[in-house]
Amino acid sequence: MRIAVVGTGYVGLVTGTCLADSGNRVTCLDINTEKIVRLQKGEIPIYEPGLEELVARNTAVGRLVFTTDTVAAIESAEIVFLAVGTPPSADGAADLSALWAVIDSIAAHLHPLAVIVTKSTVPVGTCAGIEKRLLTRTGRVCRVASNPEFLKEGAAIEDFQKPDRVVVGVRSADIADILRNLYAPFLRTENPFLVMSPESSEMTKYVANALLATKISFINEVANLCERMEADIDDVRRGIGHDSRIGFAFLFPGAGYGGSCFPKDVQALAAMARDKGLVPRVLNAVHETNLLQKHILGEKISASFGGHLAGRKIAIWGLAFKPRTDDIRDAPAIDLIEQLLLGASQVTVYDPEAMGNVRAIYGDRLVYATGAMDALNGAECLAIVTEWGDFRHPDFVDMARRMAAPIIFDGRNLYSPVDMHARGFTYHSIGKSPVISR
Ligand SMILES: NC(=O)c1ccc[n+]([C@@H]2O[C@H](COP(=O)([O-])OP(=O)(O)OC[C@H]3O[C@@H](n4cnc5c(N)ncnc54)[C@H](O)[C@@H]3O)[C@@H](O)[C@H]2O)c1
């Protein structure tokens, strides 16, 4: 099929590339000229494992092209995916200005039978709003569908090519059939293709993310309690996780959730509830708990220095909101950096992929290490914020030798407190009382 993907970010680029790889002719459209020029030269503007190779393979055979030319991208497209950002506005509701700008710019160029599909995460009722807006702009009833994306950054290609399920929201069976055919190559292991109304489909995406965020805030809250009760959150996890009604997924305590999705989607769902006169008590609590959790490491570090952070040399390992991505949107590391800079600490940072994005924000206010070990030279403590595989088995002897004091604040519980104590470290983790660490 001939496909246009509007918005060539994390979701648009992965979607366009994977659809090209399954034999479709895909044009990725973006208003960011610099991004498109880089892609045309074969440079990938984001870090996503496996993406570079897949883009190269499909551009080489001409199935995947990048453009800023709306007419060229849209006029022959049978399916137009919308994958622009939907960031939070001041009241937490999704800001749809990019999406409406796209609708207005593509309306005149759409093929009469084109199917317009929202892949962006959009509030319930957006598909209906697009139908109305396109009717006004084109004078005809356009074919609109919802198809929320569930990929995880860091494993985006695998998730797109082997989805747990594909959800589509449509008003007619023939549109469902078009999308079923498109996704057939990715559903050969019989994972379900779920057809529902656009409203249910739009809601599904928010509910999925809100539930995952709820699990994280819940385990973080009880982890903080464990620390004060001489209980060990890892033992408690084992104790509850074997219950088949509970399980282990998404119940890892840490320094809070970040990224471009969970924080904004929880707030957007809460905004929808408020808009309908409901009080989103659980969602509000999930969000507030997370905001506090993102400050936990900074508070522990400050307390260990008696509240005096000024001039302290502090190293941070991990800046991306999670491993295997360079995405730092709403990352807990950013909150920690802000806390430490506010206290006038000297902060040295290291991340395998996100250094460029952090440098673009902080410039010379931080020191950028060339490697994980390099970051530790002279550090009075280390904070670990992202659980990159690179940090799981470091040379602890070398670490202790480089640091001014062997103190670690681990926001991802990478090591055993008992082992770390034996190695001579003062090791603070999440959800384990200092008594357990001895
Ligand atoms: N990132 C994820 O892991 C993920 C997962 C599932 C769903 N989503 C959802 O997908 C959507 C996109 O997220 P993302 O992370 O890919 O965003 P992104 O910020 O990485 O990419 C958005 C792209 O849209 C482009 N854009 C903005 N206005 C445009 C316009 N008028 N015309 C053409 N291009 C335009 C931007 O230049 C940018 O390249 C969001 O709604 C998000 O919630 C994201």
109-138 pLDDT per residue, tens = 999 999 999 999 999 999 999 999 999 999
Nearest Cα to Cα of residue 415 among 405, 299, 404, 399: 399
| pLDDT higher than threshold 90 for residue 436 | no
> Is residue 356's pLDDT more than 60?
yes
Q: Which atom of ligand 1 is nearest to the CA of 8?
A: 39
Ligand 1 atom with the shortest distance to the CA of 12:
16
**Looking at ligand 1, which atom is closest to the CA of residue 11?**
16
| 68 in Cβ contact with 30 (< 8 Å) | yes
Residue 10 beta carbon below 6 angstroms from any ligand 1 atom: yes
Cβ atoms of 92 and 267 closer than 8 Å: yes
Catalytic residues: 261
Residue with CA closest to ligand 1 atom 37: 32
Report the residue among 30, 86, 160 best suited for mutation to probe ligand 1: largest number of ligand atoms under 8 A from its CB. 30
**Closest Cα partner for 82 from 91, 90, 73?**
73
Q: Whose CA is nearest to atom 20 of ligand 1?
A: 9
Please provide residue 383's backbone torsions phi and psi, each rounded to the nearest 5 degrees.
-110, 130
Beta strands in 300-423 (DSSP E): 313-317, 346-350, 367-368, 381-384, 407-410
Tell me, what amino acid is at 150? F
Atom of ligand 1 nearest to the CA of 46: 20
* Amino acid 335: pLDDT: 98
Q: How confident is the model at residue 33 (pLDDT cuts 50, 70, 90)?
A: very high
Task: Give the pLDDT confidence score for residue 435 in this predicted structure.
Answer: 52
Distance 80 CA to ligand 1 centre (A): 14
Q: Using the mean position of ligand 1's atoms as its centre, give its distance from the Cα of residue 353 in Å.
A: 20
Q: Is the minimum distance from the CB of 254 to ligand 1 under 6 angstroms?
A: no
CA-closest candidate to residue 131, choices 144, 119, 121, 140: 144
Phi, psi torsion values for 274, nearest 5 degrees:
-60, -40
pLDDT in tens, 140-170: 999 999 999 999 999 999 999 999 999 999 9
Please work out whether the CB of residue 7 comes within 6 Å of at least one atom of ligand 1. Answer: yes
- Ligand 1 pocket, 251 CB below 6 A? no
Protein residue with least CA distance to atom 36, ligand 1 = 7
- Looking at residue 313, what is its pLDDT? 98
Atom in ligand 1 nearest the alpha carbon of residue 98: 28
Ligand 1 and 36: CB distance under 6 A: no
Decide whether any atom of ligand 1 lies within 6 Å of the 151 Cβ: yes
Question: What mean pLDDT comes out for the span 234-256?
Answer: 96
Residue 438 in this model has a pLDDT that exceeds 50: no
* Spatial contact of 116 and 122, defined as CB atoms under 8 Å apart: no
**pTM for the full model?**
0.96
Share of the chain above pLDDT 70, in %: 99
**pLDDT over 50 (residue 240):** yes
* Cβ of 261 below 6 Å from ligand 1: yes
Residue range 357-370: mean pLDDT, rounded: 98
- Asked whether residue 437 carries a pLDDT value surpassing 60, the answer given is no
pLDDT at 433: 80
Residue with CA nearest ligand 1 atom 18: 9
Distance 433 CA to ligand 1 centre (A): 41
As a whole number, mean pLDDT of residues 170-195 equals 97
Q: What's the whole-number mean pLDDT along residues 13-21?
A: 98
Q: Is residue 251 within 8 Å of residue 237, measured between CB atoms?
A: yes
Residues 371-419 have pLDDT tens digits of: 999 999 999 999 999 999 999 999 999 999 999 999 999 999 999 999 9
| Cα 23 to ligand 1 centre (Å) | 23
pLDDT of residue 223: 98
Compute the mean pLDDT over every residue in the chain, rounded to the nearest whole number. 97
Nearest to 132, CA basis, from 198, 186, 177, 183: 198
